[in-house]
């Protein structure tokens, strides 16, 4: 098994005149729980889309588990699981039908697919409505189902775009436990989230992207050490994030103009 | 405390709602991809204005004629036309989809009374209401010219009639909103609606066949319409024209009773909405854990000969077909259409006597028509995938497997439908001669497989998202329609020429031989095209995902 799960070199994506991802270099070791952070519109989802084959890069190179995505896309896709932005569900199937569908799309046999589907639906507490189509699920249920579909084939890298958004605390706890166990088994998890507390609790390594450029990367300790050296006792990930992206609050909207509200 | 010192007046609130509706329309038209909508809107606007104007003249003339020729009782007919228009047109236009929801205004500080009045004003801003107002005005003018004495009665009755109609229209609208809030009921309603539209086609042959028998029945039914508002309004005007004050007041009082009744019901509906009636789609969490252990996965797979991914797509397509009321109806349409056309063809050739059309002409013609209908969805094959389309690109499969699964489903449906229609044709008209029969079957293979190649390309190049159980805004891409039209014209022309070649050359088997060759070539071309389409899918994936994930 290669030591490096994800290797990105000079990855760039342009949309007309806008450079959404600008020459990003990134390396994620196998088995890492990796948090990919950034403000809205920074290029997080665009990066994940390129890493999962949903978007072609304008330039640059991506290697996953030692395989070049451009030349071995099918082999790479076999090894990865994805919860994309918007979840990518077929909303007119039931949860069970969807998991069967995805299992077979990843080449699992029917018996294995059925067994894993039942276990996943049970674990995600989605097994009590077998006849309900996904369109009638709540947002949190859809999120859990999307995660179940992403792991049904036992991926070695898991890409999660805002996996905890809209998920209740109980389910979030179960998901965190599941993800934690997956990393213990050597699965690499690449996650974006706006909930920095969750990222801080789960992730061992973090990268921060802003305006398409990677502005920080390393373990939480390394990032803390870097900030502590510059500005004193910045300990939480939120403070690190604001310090790097917000430059100490320079980008924050100013409240003085809302005096009538405050 | 909030800074709201003074709530805006009712008129100001109505004005704000009108402004909101206008801005929503304007902003929608501003989008680049909606330029065609703007052109469509201009065309439909001009057409609508001409229709309203033309019918206004007709209503004016009708009212004038009825009153000046002493047939004032016929005024009820004009009121009935307006009534049916006012109540039915908005139901068709509403289209079973979600639009700007009037009830979202409830988050603003409105009293129930203001909410009710804004609701009525909102109803008067619809095209159907404006058209009906124009026609009532025209009727009043026509009636007044014919008999100036009836002007006060016309004004009174028209006023009550407007109030009754707008209240009833809002009432039906709010009931429909409640009914259609749930996805399942929306789909069932759409299916019933489409079936009704199809069954309208049968009216003409039914009238021709049973018209004379039904006439006395209809005549006997007419008196039962008297207690309804349009007849009451017509009766009141007839009373005014004949100087029978009692009839006038009885009719006006009857319409007033309806106004009060509908107003009360509408008030109750709006009060429920005002109190926060829940119309959400999502079902409440189930309390009891119901497990249905399934052993389906352990049973032998009927699709085991297919690649697992092709089988998965095929199963998914089948489930989508059975859950999409509109698409599912396409399974009923072909035999129904065969039945309809065979009935109509018998009538056309009859001149008073029934005549069976020639199977040698009717059979290939009917099959061509069925292929035309059943192939149409293939030109936008990803329409109902929504965000799920991303799975096709994140899963480890060549895109050819997606096309194979989808095309296999379509071909299965086509085979089933064509066999069913053939059975109906054999029963109604009879089967054609063997050479023509074989030629037609080979032509079907050629045109279907040939179209599949073009349709797959069109699906990747001009995707347009469609929603289950909705009619509003459910349009294919203009280019996809054009491609489908062109492909069908070309293939249809080729097929017709070849089919008649047998007659010109005297060799009855020649068309079958040519079509067999073309069908084999089309099948070969189809499989050869799959790799090119896989490469195209990779190239087009961003636009495809963007179009379907909106």
Q: What residues contact A38, with CB distance under 8 A and at least 6 apart?
A: A44, A192, A208, A209, A210, A245
- The pLDDT, as a whole number, for residue B4 is 53
Most A CBs within 10 A among B297, B327, B409, hence the mutation to make, goes to: B297
Confidence of residue B356 (pLDDT cuts 50, 70, 90): low
Confidence of residue A256 (pLDDT cuts 50, 70, 90): low
pLDDT confidence band for A224 (50 / 70 / 90):
confident
Of the two residues B186 and B250, the one the predictor is more confident about is B250
Chain A neighbors of B286, CB-CB under 8 A: 128-129
**Residue B469 pLDDT > 70:** no
Question: Which pLDDT value is given to residue A86?
Answer: 84
The residue ranking higher by pLDDT, B273 or B522, is B522
pLDDT score for B53: 94
The DSSP bridge partners found for residue A213 are A210
A residues 123..182 contacting B (CB < 8 A): 127-130, 132-133, 135-138
Under an 8 A CB cutoff, do A106 and B389 touch?
Answer: no
Contacts of A74 in chain B (CB under 8 A): 396-398
Quote the minimal CA–CA distance from A254 to chain B in Å.
22
* pLDDT in the model for residue B38: 67
Q: For every residue of B216-261, which 3-state class applies, written as one string?
A: HHHHHHHHHHCCCHHHHHHHHHHHHHCCCHHHHHHHHHHHHHHHHH
- Who wins on pLDDT, B110 or B164? B164
Place of tokens 């399934």: B294
Q: Do B398 and A74 touch (CB under 8 A)?
A: yes
Q: Domain boundaries in chain A?
A: 4-251
- Which residue from A77, A114, A132 is facing B394, i.e. has the nearest CB? A77
Q: What is the pLDDT of residues B54-101, one digit of tens each?
A: 999 999 999 999 999 988 888 999 999 999 999 988 777 655 444 556
Cα distance from A188 to chain B (closest Cα, Å)? 17
User: Which chain A residues contact residue B384 at CB under 8 A?
Assistant: 92
In this complex, do A106 and B395 lie within 8 Å of one another by their Cβ atoms?
A: yes
Q: What is the pLDDT of residues A42-85, one digit of tens each?
A: 999 999 999 998 888 999 999 999 999 889 989 999 999 999 88
For residues B406 and B377, give the distance between their C-alpha atoms in angstroms, rounded to a whole number. 11
- Assembly ipTM: 0.83
Cα–Cα distance, B528 to B526 (Å, whole number): 5
β-sheet bridge partners, residue A18: A15
Binary contact (A127, B282; C-beta < 8 A) = no
Residues of chain B with Cβ-Cβ distance to A76 below 8 Å are 396
Lowest mean pLDDT among A178-192, B147-161, B220-234: B220-234
A111 touches chain B (CB under 8 A): yes
Q: How far apart are CA B233 and CA B78, in angstroms?
A: 10
CB contact under 8 Å between A102 and B391, yes or no, is: yes
> For residue B287, what pLDDT band results from cuts at 50, 70 and 90?
very low
Give the mean pLDDT of B151-160.
Answer: 94
Chain A positions touching B397 (Cβ under 8 A) are: 74, 105
User: A78 to chain B: nearest residue by CA?
Assistant: B396
pLDDT(B156) > 80 = yes
| Nearest-10 crossing angle of helices B10-30, B35-68 | 130
Average pLDDT over all residues of chain A = 87
Mean pLDDT of B282-300: 50
Give the pLDDT of residue A258: 77
Q: Which residue has the higher pLDDT, B389 or B194?
A: B389
> Residue A114's closest chain B neighbor by CA?
B297
C-alpha–C-alpha distance, residues B99 and B114, integer Å: 22
3-state secondary structure of A204: coil
User: What pTM value is reported for the model?
Assistant: 0.72
Contact predicate A137/A149, CB 8 Å = no
Q: What percent of chain A has pLDDT over 90?
A: 44
Of A102, A106, A136, the CB nearest to B283: A136
Q: Which two tokens stand for residue B255?
A: 């319409």
Q: Smallest CA–CA separation between A110 and chain B, in Å?
A: 5
Asked if B281's CB is within 8 angstroms of A135's CB, the reply is yes
Please name which of A77, A92, A83 lies closest in space to residue A144, comparing C-alpha atoms. A83
Task: Give the tens place of pLDDT for each residue, A164-196.
Answer: 887 888 878 888 888 888 998 899 999 998 888
pLDDT at res. B400:
94
B-contacting residues in A 50-89 (Cβ below 8 Å):
52-56, 74-78, 80, 82, 84, 86-89
- The encoded tokens of residue A124 equal 């995600």
CATH 3.40.50.300 fits domain A4-251 = yes
Q: Which residue is closest to A107 within chain B, CA to CA?
A: B308
């Amino acid at each position: 098994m290669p030591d490096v799960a994800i290797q990105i070199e000079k990855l760039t994506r342009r949309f007309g005149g806008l450079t959404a991802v600008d020459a990003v270099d990134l390396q994620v070791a196998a088995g890492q729980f990796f948090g990919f952070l950034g403000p809205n519109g920074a290029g997080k989802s665009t990066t994940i889309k390129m890493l999962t084959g949903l978007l072609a890069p304008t330039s640059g190179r991506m290697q996953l588990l030692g395989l070049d995505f451009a030349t071995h896309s099918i082999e790479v896709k076999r090894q990865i699981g994805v919860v994309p932005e918007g979840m990518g569900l077929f909303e007119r199937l039931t949860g069970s039908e969807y998991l069967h569908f995805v299992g077979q799309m990843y080449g699992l046999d029917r018996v294995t697919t059925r067994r894993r589907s039942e276990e996943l639906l049970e674990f995600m507490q989605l097994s009590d409505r077998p006849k309900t189509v996904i369109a009638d699920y709540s947002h949190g249920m859809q999120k859990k189902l999307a995660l179940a579909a992403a792991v049904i084939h036992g991926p070695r890298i898991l890409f999660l775009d805002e996996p905890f958004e809209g998920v209740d605390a109980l389910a979030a706890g179960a998901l965190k436990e599941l993800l934690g166990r997956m990393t213990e088994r050597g699965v690499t998890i690449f996650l974006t989230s706006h909930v920095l507390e969750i990222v801080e609790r789960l992730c061992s390594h973090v990268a921060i992207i802003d305006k398409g450029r990677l502005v920080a990367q390393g373990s939480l300790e390394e990032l803390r050490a870097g900030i502590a050296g510059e500005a004193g006792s910045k300990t939480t990930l939120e403070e690190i994030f604001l310090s790097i992206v917000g430059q100490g609050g320079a980008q924050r909207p100013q409240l003085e103009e809302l005096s009538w509200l405050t | 405390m909030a800074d709201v010192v003074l709530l805006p007046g009712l008129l100001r609130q109505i004005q704000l709602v009108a402004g909101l509706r206008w801005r929503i329309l304007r902003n929608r038209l501003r989008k680049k991809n909606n330029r065609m909508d703007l052109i469509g809107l201009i065309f439909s606007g001009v057409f609508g204005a001409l229709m309203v104007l033309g019918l206004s003249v007709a209503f004016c003339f009708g009212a004038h004629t009825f009153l000046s020729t002493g047939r004032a009782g016929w005024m009820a007919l004009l009121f009935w036309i307006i009534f049916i228009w006012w109540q039915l047109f908005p139901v068709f236009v509403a289209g079973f989809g979600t639009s700007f929801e009037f009830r979202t205004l409830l988050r603003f500080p409105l009293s129930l009374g203001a909410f009710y009045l804004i609701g009525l004003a909102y109803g008067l801003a619809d095209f159907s209401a404006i058209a009906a107002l124009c026609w009532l005005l025209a009727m009043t003018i026509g009636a007044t010219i014919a008999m100036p004495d009836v002007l006060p009665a016309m004004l009174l009755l028209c006023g009550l009639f407007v109030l009754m109609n707008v209240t009833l229209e809002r009432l039906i609208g709010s009931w429909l909103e409640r009914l259609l809030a749930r996805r399942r009921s929306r789909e069932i309603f759409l299916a019933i609606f489409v079936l009704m539209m199809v069954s309208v086609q049968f009216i003409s042959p039914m009238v021709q066949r049973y018209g004379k028998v039904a006439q006395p029945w209809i005549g006997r039914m007419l008196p039962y319409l008297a207690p309804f508002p349009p007849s009451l309004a017509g009766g009141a005007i007839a009373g005014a024209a004949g100087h029978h004050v009692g009839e006038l007041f009885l009719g006006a009082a009857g319409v007033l009773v309806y106004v009060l009744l509908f107003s009360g019901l509408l008030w109750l509906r709006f009060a429920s909405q005002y109190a926060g009636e829940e119309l959400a789609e999502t079902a409440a969490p189930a309390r009891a854990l119901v497990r249905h252990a399934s052993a389906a996965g352990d049973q032998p797979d009927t699709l085991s000969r297919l690649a697992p991914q092709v089988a998965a797509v095929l199963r998914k397509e089948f489930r989508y077909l059975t859950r999409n009321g509109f698409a599912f109806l396409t399974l009923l349409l072909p035999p129904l259409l065969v039945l309809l056309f065979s009935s109509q063809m018998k009538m056309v050739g009859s001149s008073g006597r029934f005549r069976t059309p020639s199977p040698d002409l009717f059979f290939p013609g009917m099959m061509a028509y069925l292929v035309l209908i059943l192939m149409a969805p293939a030109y936008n094959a990803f329409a109902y995938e929504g965000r799920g389309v991303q799975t096709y690109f994140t899963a480890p499969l060549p895109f050819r497997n997606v096309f194979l699964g989808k095309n296999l489903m379509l071909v299965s449906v086509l085979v089933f439908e064509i066999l069913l229609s053939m059975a109906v044709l054999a029963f109604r008209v009879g089967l054609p001669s063997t050479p023509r029969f074989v030629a037609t079957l080979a032509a079907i293979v050629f045109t279907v497989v040939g179209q599949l190649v073009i349709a797959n390309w069109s699906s990747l190049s001009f995707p347009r998202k469609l929603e289950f159980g909705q009619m509003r805004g459910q349009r294919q891409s203009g280019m996809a329609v054009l491609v489908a039209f062109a492909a069908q014209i070309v293939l249809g022309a080729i097929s017709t020429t070849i089919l008649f070649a047998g007659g010109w050359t005297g060799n009855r088997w020649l068309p079958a031989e040519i079509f067999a060759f073309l069908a084999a070539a089309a099948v070969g071309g189809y499989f050869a095209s799959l790799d090119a389409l896989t490469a195209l899918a990779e190239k087009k994936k961003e636009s495809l995902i963007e179009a379907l994930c909106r």
